[in-house]
Amino acid sequence: GDSVTQMEGPVTLSEEAFLTINCTYTATGYPSLFWYVQYPGEGLQLLLKATKADDKGSNKGFEATYRKETTSFHLEKGSVQVSDSAVYFCALRNNAGKSTFGDGTTLTVKP
């Protein structure tokens, strides 16, 4: 079956540091890929998505590129802020419409 593996946390960075959270996936066909963010006590919010190979999703300074050859969708941000502290989930949705989520990576940004 499908699977999503993302970098284990927690990740702690200083403000303005560069962020990378790795995500790799296994799926048949051509899934769509997503990053979601969860702030404390809330549900998940869509951060960005990419629907085909070489697409780059971007939002709020975050970016991720759909790499079919390496089956990866790493999340990056050039300069993190304290307000970016949250749990980040990588997910895929396959051609049958079924979603698979990674276990989440907790990011803490210190001033």
CA distances (Å), 92 to each of 15, 21, 26, in order?
29, 16, 9
Interacting residue ranges for other proteins, rule: CB under 8 A: 30-32, 34, 36, 41-46, 49, 51, 89, 93-97, 99, 101-104, 106
Q: In angstroms, give the least distance from the CB of 58 to other proteins.
A: 15
Question: Which of residues 16 and 42 has its CB atom nearest to other proteins in the complex?
Answer: 42
Buried b (16+ CB within 10 A) or exposed e, 78-96: eebeeebbbbbbbbbbbee
Question: Which of residues 97 and 111 has its CB atom nearest to other proteins in the complex?
Answer: 97
Strands 86-93 and 75-77: unpaired
Question: Which of residues 43 and 111 has its CB atom nearest to other proteins in the complex?
Answer: 43
Q: In angstroms, give the least distance from the CB of 16 to other proteins.
A: 27
Q: In angstroms, give the least distance from the CB of 107 to other proteins.
A: 14
User: Among candidates 18, 16, 34, which has minimal Cα distance to 88?
Assistant: 34
